[in-house]
Chains A and B, each alone.
Chain A
Amino acid sequence: GENVEQHPSTLSVQEGDSAVIKCTYSDSASNYFPWYKQELGKRPQLIIDIRSNVGEKKDQRIAVTLNKTAKHFSLHITETQPEDSAVYFCAASWTGGSYIPTFGRGTSLIVHP
């Protein structure tokens, strides 16, 4: 089955800095890679996703890049703000069949004012 490794487990940055979270996956059949943000005590919510036919996708201050050859994808947050503080989860899945995404263990991002 799919295995997703996520690093780092904790990331501390100053407000205005950039933050990068990296994930690797094992199954070359995976073709969909969502990122979720989970604020303390809240539910995970999708912030951005990328499909295997695209190398990069941006949405304002966040971007995701995908390297299919190396089987890794990354979340980039620029100009971080205190409200970006949360746990971020990556996931990998194949969108055919039953769609069972495999999640990374999460990265706790702390943005210091």
Chain B
Amino acid sequence: NAGVTQTPKFRVLKTGQSMTLLCAQDMNHEYMYWYRQDPGMGLRLIHYSVGEGTTAKGEVPDGYNVSRLKKQNFLLGLESAAPSQTSVYFCASRAPVRGITDTQYFGPGTRLTVL
């Protein structure tokens, strides 16, 4: 049971390049989330999904797209990277059991630098 994994761990892009970050979970969780973490800003929600085939915008969605074609995977895409997207990206998943648990499980993070 690997939990939540993210690929890649590190990436350097040039302005205007595109890339896709992959999040995978093997816990059969319905809910998945993408956050970005910047110094002093906490965790800010980019996009989220409440089930296979669904996606929704979070607090800071501009410049990002997502897809949830399979329940276990949640992809985050940057179509034209900008230096402002330099950040650490965390994926999380959750399977609520009402009244028992609402824990989010986070992946190890992807450190992205855009030059």
Contacts of A99 in B (CB 8 A): 31, 94, 96, 102
Contact between chains at B96 and A49 (CB < 8 Å): no
Contact between chains at B45 and A100 (CB < 8 Å): yes
Contacts of B40 in A (CB 8 A): 9, 105-106
Q: Does B43 touch A at the CB level, under 8 Å?
A: yes
Given contacts A44-B90, A99-B96, A100-B48, contact A106 B103 (CB under 8 A): no
How far, in angstroms, from A46 to B103 measured CA to CA in the complex?
7
Closest Cβ neighbor of B103 among chain A residues: A46
Contact between chains at B50 and A101 (CB < 8 Å): no
Contact between chains at B107 and A43 (CB < 8 Å): yes
User: What does DSSP make chain A's interface, helix, strand, loop or mixed?
Assistant: loop
Interface string of B14-48 (1 = CB under 8 A from A): 00000000000000000100000000111111001
User: What does DSSP make chain B's interface, helix, strand, loop or mixed?
Assistant: loop
Contact between chains at A103 and B43 (CB < 8 Å): yes
In this complex, the interface size class of chain A, counting residues with CB under 8 Å from chain B, is 20 to 34
- List which A13-49 residues lie within 8 A (CB) of chain B: 32, 34, 42-46, 49
Q: Which A residues are within 8 Å of any B CB, using their own CB?
A: 6, 9, 32, 34, 42-46, 49, 89, 93, 95, 98-101, 103-106
Q: Report 23 cross-chain contacts, Cβ distance below 8 Å, ordered by A residue.
A: A9-B40, A34-B102, A34-B103, A34-B104, A43-B90, A43-B106, A43-B107, A43-B108, A44-B43, A89-B42, A89-B43, A95-B96, A98-B31, A98-B50, A99-B94, A99-B96, A100-B58, A101-B104, A103-B42, A104-B42, A105-B40, A106-B40, A106-B42
